């Protein structure tokens, strides 16, 4: 560890903080939500703080039979229970208000069970409030439009329209790194679209998702529209293979997505599968602004972010300047306790993940990479790490690191930087720094990714934008109104105006006689 690296030493919680955390967790109603009620009998799966291993609570170990019960109950409610669009919109609006009222409590749960600092957790809660409001406002996406029968050879004597109808039951499978807002990005659009939802939150961070289910119930979402199971032998397979599940919305890794697709069969699958995101810094860029954005984008949530900056290509004329500034900025970050508001970088989600990142960096070093700062692990903590001279076949370049590591490489020709940025199995987002709008747009056109941020890094998302990527980065798009379209289907109503010509002749005849 560099002597100039700021380290916020992990401090013990005060008695007040410990009591608050435990009271927050104890207030959760149950360990799974099935058949319209909370289950508590099998609360044997432990949830621990990744920072210090403290036991936070327990959730239910569910079974495939539990999944079948949950899905069947939601299916029956969809057939029998009416929940109007106005009621759906009002429930999601109320949920946003309730979440704003309970923001501090939710932030404490997120910070306790995940890798996020309390500041990052509070930011996630604010975003989730917006996601709920956007979901309520997306009711307009269901309206549809009239069909252009008058402009068709086959359209004689017909009128019609289409509107959007729910697909049925949505299975929402969510990750640990955004345990609240990524749940809302699936449940909000699914519910406003009129669907039922079976949620499987990450087994590492399930408490936030279960608390969110309770909030939705309090806001007026019918119990028959929701179910939540966390983990247990065969649970994931039971969810994705259940014949009454109509759509699977999954956020995670491509290997898991492949297994889901193979098991699910002919179901609609939406998947967001991460990224290996590149940023290009051109010769005319603002080196200081680029370096600051790279540090922020690479090390937020300890790098456990699908939009994290992983690969940076800098024009050779700015390379030393940008590298120096990134190293200085990285050393200034404080690594330590999540509840300490001076902390910038908390732990990874587990010590095992920190060990994996450590192994990848050691492999890069063995292949010739240079470590300029970081490169050291302490338990589940891994220091923000800046590498250069990294060969293209090193794991930190070829795979998604999902940890606090960024590699910086020089280029001479912009075409070489574009080629290197595209040389990945992923294609989520990318960043470009340049003062030339023409050059920026030319680069953006060539990058094979879902979004290009000009004079920013890949780490930019608003909750209303279409979110997703090319290649292994996923299938379909999230972003509230776009997800609503994915989770509904157009249904046309066509009216044949039988006898219209005869009626017109009759009216004409009567008019002539008069």
**Looking at residue 4, what is its pLDDT?**
36
**Looking at residue 146, what is its pLDDT?**
92
Please check the confidence at residue 406 and state whether its pLDDT lies above 90: yes
Is 432 a domain residue? yes
505 pLDDT band, cuts 50/70/90, is low
Question: Do 255 and 165 share a structural domain?
Answer: yes
**Looking at residue 514, what is its pLDDT?**
55
Question: Do 266 and 197 share a structural domain?
Answer: yes
Question: Do 132 and 41 share a structural domain?
Answer: yes
The string over 351-362, giving b where at least 16 C-beta atoms fall within 10 Å of a residue's C-beta and e elsewhere, is: bebbebbbebbe
Closest CA to 26 of 40, 13, 42, 14: 40
Q: What angle do CA 442, 311, 471 make, to 5 degrees?
A: 70
Is 499 a domain residue? no
Q: What one-character-per-residue DSSP string does 231-280 give?
A: B-TTHHHHHHH-TT--EEEEES-HHHHHHHHHHH-SSEEEEE----EEEE
Q: Which residue has the higher pLDDT, 31 or 364?
A: 364
The answer for residues whose C-beta is within 8 angstroms of residue 32's C-beta and 6 or more apart is 38, 39, 42, 59, 60, 62, 66, 210, 228, 229, 230
Please check the confidence at residue 152 and state whether its pLDDT lies above 90: no
Is 468 a domain residue? no
> Domain of 195?
15-273+476-491
390 contacts 397 by C-beta, under 8 angstroms: yes
Structural domain total, the chain: 2
Please check the confidence at residue 142 and state whether its pLDDT lies above 90: yes
486 is catalytic: no
Is 390 a domain residue? yes
Question: Do 325 and 177 share a structural domain?
Answer: no
3 pLDDT band, cuts 50/70/90, is very low
CATH number at residue 425: 3.40.309.10
Please check the confidence at residue 382 and state whether its pLDDT lies above 60: yes
Is 2 a domain residue? no
Q: Which residue has the higher pLDDT, 15 or 204?
A: 204
Catalytic residue among 128, 306, 353, 486: 306
**Looking at residue 507, what is its pLDDT?**
59
Question: Do 193 and 79 share a structural domain?
Answer: yes
Task: Give the burial class of 399: count Cβ atoms within 10 A of its Cβ; 0-12 exposed, 13-18 middle, 19 or more buried.
Answer: middle
275 contacts 469 by C-beta, under 8 angstroms: yes
Task: Give strand pairing partners of 311.
Answer: 278, 407
10 pLDDT band, cuts 50/70/90, is very low
Closest CA to 125 of 94, 103, 108: 103
Q: What is the mean pLDDT of residues 243-250?
A: 97
Question: Do 297 and 233 share a structural domain?
Answer: no
Question: Do 420 and 486 share a structural domain?
Answer: no
Q: Which residue has the higher pLDDT, 118 or 502?
A: 118
Please check the confidence at residue 11 and state whether its pLDDT lies above 60: no
Please check the confidence at residue 37 and state whether its pLDDT lies above 50: yes
Q: pLDDT tens, 263-272?
A: 998 899 999 9
Q: What is the mean pLDDT of residues 176-184?
A: 97
22 pLDDT band, cuts 50/70/90, is low
Please check the confidence at residue 23 and state whether its pLDDT lies above 80: no
509 pLDDT band, cuts 50/70/90, is low
Q: Which residue has the higher pLDDT, 144 or 13?
A: 144
Question: Do 407 and 443 share a structural domain?
Answer: yes
Catalytic residue among 39, 272, 400, 478: 272
Is 450 a domain residue? yes
Give the separation between CA 250 and CA 253, rounded to whole angstroms: 9
Question: Do 263 and 131 share a structural domain?
Answer: yes
Task: Average the pLDDT over each of 44-58, 116-130, 329-343 and give the range with the smallest value.
Answer: 44-58
Quote the mean pLDDT of the chain. 92
**Looking at residue 154, what is its pLDDT?**
83
Question: Do 295 and 442 share a structural domain?
Answer: yes
Question: Do 309 and 399 share a structural domain?
Answer: yes
Task: Average the pLDDT over each of 144-158, 232-246, 460-474, 499-513 and give the range with the smallest value.
Answer: 499-513
Please check the confidence at residue 327 and state whether its pLDDT lies above 80: yes
Is 509 a domain residue? no
Please check the confidence at residue 76 and state whether its pLDDT lies above 90: yes
272 is catalytic: yes
12 pLDDT band, cuts 50/70/90, is very low
Q: What one-character-per-residue DSSP string does 282-319 give?
A: -TTS-HHHHHHHHHHHHHGGGG-STT-EEEEEEETTTH
CATH number at residue 92: 3.40.605.10
Question: Do 299 and 236 share a structural domain?
Answer: no
Tokens for 130, please give them: 């917006």
393 pLDDT band, cuts 50/70/90, is very high
Is 496 a domain residue? no
């Amino acid at each position: 560890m560099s002597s100039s690296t700021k380290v916020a030493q992990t401090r013990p919680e005060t008695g007040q903080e410990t009591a608050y955390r435990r009271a927050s967790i104890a207030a959760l109603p149950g360990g799974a939500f099935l058949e319209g009620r909370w289950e508590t009998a099998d609360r044997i799966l432990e949830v621990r703080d990744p920072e210090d291993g403290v036991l936070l609570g327990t959730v239910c170990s569910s079974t495939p039979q539990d999944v079948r019960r949950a899905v069947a109950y939601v299916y029956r409610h969809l057939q029998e229970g009416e929940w109007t669009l106005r009621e759906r919109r009002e429930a999601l609006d109320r949920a946003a208000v309730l979440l704003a009222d309970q923001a501090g409590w939710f932030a404490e749960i997120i910070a306790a069970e995940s890798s996020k600092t309390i500041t990052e957790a509070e930011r996630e809660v604010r975003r989730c409030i917006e996601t709920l409001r956007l979901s309520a406002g997306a009711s307009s996406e269901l309206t549809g439009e009239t069909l252009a029968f008058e402009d068709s050879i086959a359209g004689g004597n017909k009128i019609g329209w289409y509107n959007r109808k729910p697909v049925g039951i949505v299975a929402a499978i969510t990750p640990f790194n955004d345990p609240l807002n990524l749940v809302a990005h699936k449940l909000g659009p699914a519910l406003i679209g009129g669907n039922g939802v079976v949620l499987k939150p990450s087994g590492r961070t399930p408490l936030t998702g279960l608390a969110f289910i309770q909030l939705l119930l309090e806001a007026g979402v019918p119990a028959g529209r929701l179910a939540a199971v966390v983990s247990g032998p065969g649970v994931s397979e039971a969810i994705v293979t259940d014949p009454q599940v109509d759509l699977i919305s999954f956020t995670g890794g491509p290997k898991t997505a492949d297994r889901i697709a193979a098991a699910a069969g002919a179901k609609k699958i939406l998947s967001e599968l991460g990224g290996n995101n590149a940023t290009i810094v051109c010769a005319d860029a603002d080196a200081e602004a680029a370096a600051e954005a790279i540090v922020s984008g690479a090390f937020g949530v300890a790098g456990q972010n699908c939009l994290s900056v992983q690969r940076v290509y800098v024009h050779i004329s700015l390379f030393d300047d940008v590298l120096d500034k990134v190293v200085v900025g990285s050393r200034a970050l404080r690594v330590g306790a999540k509840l300490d508001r001076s902390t910038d970088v908390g732990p990874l989600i587990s010590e095992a993940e920190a060990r994996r990142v450590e192994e990848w960096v050691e492999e890069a070093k063995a292949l010739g990479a240079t470590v300029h700062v970081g490169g050291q692990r302490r338990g589940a903590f891994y220091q923000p790490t800046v590498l250069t001279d990294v060969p293209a076949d090193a794991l930190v370049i070829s795979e998604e690191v999902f940890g606090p590591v960024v590699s910086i490489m020089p280029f001479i020709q912009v075409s070489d930087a574009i080629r290197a940025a595209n040389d990945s199995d992923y294609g989520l987002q990318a960043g470009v720094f340049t003062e030339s709008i023409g050059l920026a747009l030319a680069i953006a056109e060539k990058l094979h990714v879902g979004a290009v941020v000009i004079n920013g890094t890949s780490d930019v998302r608003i909750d209303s934008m279409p979110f997703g990527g090319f290649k292994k980065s996923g299938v379909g798009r999230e972003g509230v109104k776009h997800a609503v379209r994915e989770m509904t289907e157009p249904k046309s109503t066509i009216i044949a105006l039988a006898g219209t010509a005869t009626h017109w002749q009759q009216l004409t005849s009567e008019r002539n006689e008069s």
